[in-house]
A and B are shown apart, each in its own frame.
Chain A
Amino acid sequence: MKRREEGYGRWWTAVALLVAAAAVLLVAGRSFLAMRVDLPIYPGPGVTQIGALSDYFDGLIGTPADTAVYVLEGDEPGGTALVLGGTHPNEPASSLTAIALIESVTIVRGRLIVIPRANRSAFTCTEPQEGYPQTYTIETPEGPREFRYGSRGTNPVHQWPDPVIYINAAGQSLAGAEVRNLNRSYPGTPSGNLTERLAYAMVELIRREGVDIAIDLHEASPEYPVINAIVAHERALNIAAEAALFLEFEGVQIGVERSPENLRGLSHREWGDFTDTLALLVEAPNPAQGRLRGRTSAELIVEGVDPYYVRAAERGLLYVPFSAEGHPIDERVGRHLQTVAVLLDVYNTYSADDIVMAGVPTLADVLDRGIGAYLAPPGGGIESPT
Chain B
Amino acid sequence: MTILYQIITVGVIALVGWNLLREKRLVEQMAAALVLIPLILRVLMIK
User: Which secondary structure dominates chain B's binding surface?
Assistant: helix
Q: Is B46's CB under 8 angstroms from A157's CB?
A: yes
CA distance A20 to B34 in the complex (A): 9
> Which residues on A are within 8 Å of B, measured CB to CB?
6-9, 11, 13-14, 17-18, 20-21, 24-25, 28-29, 32-33, 125, 157, 160-161
25 A–B pairs (Cβ distance < 8 Å), ordered by A: A7-B23, A7-B25, A7-B26, A9-B24, A11-B21, A13-B26, A13-B29, A14-B20, A14-B29, A17-B29, A18-B20, A21-B33, A21-B34, A21-B37, A24-B37, A25-B36, A25-B41, A28-B41, A29-B46, A32-B41, A32-B46, A125-B47, A157-B47, A160-B1, A160-B5
CA distance A116 to B20 in the complex (A): 46
Q: Is B2's CB under 8 angstroms from A160's CB?
A: yes
Q: A29-B44, A160-B5 are in contact. List 9 more A-B contacts (CB 8 A).
A: A8-B26, A9-B26, A17-B32, A18-B20, A18-B33, A29-B41, A32-B46, A157-B46, A160-B1
CA distance A120 to B46 in the complex (A): 16
* Per-position 1/0 for B5-47, Cβ under 8 A of A: 1000000000001001101111111101110110011001111
How many residues does chain B have at the interface if contact means C-beta atoms less than 8 Å apart? 25
> Which residues on B are within 8 Å of A, measured CB to CB?
1-2, 5, 17, 20-21, 23-30, 32-34, 36-37, 40-41, 44-47
Question: Residues of B contacting A11 with CB < 8 Å?
Answer: 21
Q: Which of B21, B24, B45 contacts A7 (CB 8 A)?
A: B24
| Chain A residue at smallest Cβ distance from B21 | A14
Q: Is B37's CB under 8 angstroms from A28's CB?
A: yes
Question: Residues of A contacting B27 with CB < 8 Å?
Answer: 7
CA distance A9 to B2 in the complex (A): 35
Known: A21-B34, A157-B46, A160-B2. A14 touches B41 (CB 8 A): no
Question: Residues of B contacting A33 with CB < 8 Å?
Answer: 46
Question: Residues of B contacting A29 with CB < 8 Å?
Answer: 41, 44, 46-47
Question: Residues of B contacting A32 with CB < 8 Å?
Answer: 41, 46-47
